[in-house]
Amino acid sequence: MSVLKVGDKAPLFTLENQRGEKVRLSSFKGKSVVIYFYPKADTPGCTTQSCALRDASDEFAGLDAVVLGISPDAPSRLLKFDDKYSLGFELLADEDHAVAEAWGAWGEKSMYGKKYMGIIRSAFVVDPKGKVSGVFYKVSPKDTVGKVTKALESGH
């Protein structure tokens, strides 16, 4: 698994959002982008993380940043998640986890002694030129906003 570092060029992607529309990372050039990978919509940790990012939306807008959430869920499940919590940002379906792999957010996990492959909860900040300016692997749902905000502020 390759891991990204600050200064790396952000791996480009095109994924379907919760409304079935194609979203390209390249279409956000000129803006900062907060990208977070989460294991499964509407589970406790993912809900905590997503709602914290929703609650910081004014702060992110002030830093000229948009938020993109990525999980292996189908667009229909993402739409239910967005509707239930009024998240208000793009949730992207990475059903074959190819984008998560490119970003180093897919790997071996273990639960109750069983090993399996899955999403490694991660957050990234991409600067307006398409370079990675913040990398947070195994980020806590409660720490995501603080860490990405600090990376956004230091990039301005």
Known catalytic residues are 46
CA–CA dist 84, 97 (Å, integer): 24
Distances (CA, A) of 156 to 63, 88, 143: 8, 24, 21
Residue with tokens 């609650």: 55
- Alpha-carbon distance 134 to 147, whole Å? 8
Q: Which residue has the tokens 């000129």?
A: 30
Among residues 2, 10, 23, the alpha carbon closest in space to that of 90 is found at 23
Beta-carbon neighbour count of residue 140 at 10 Å?
A: 14
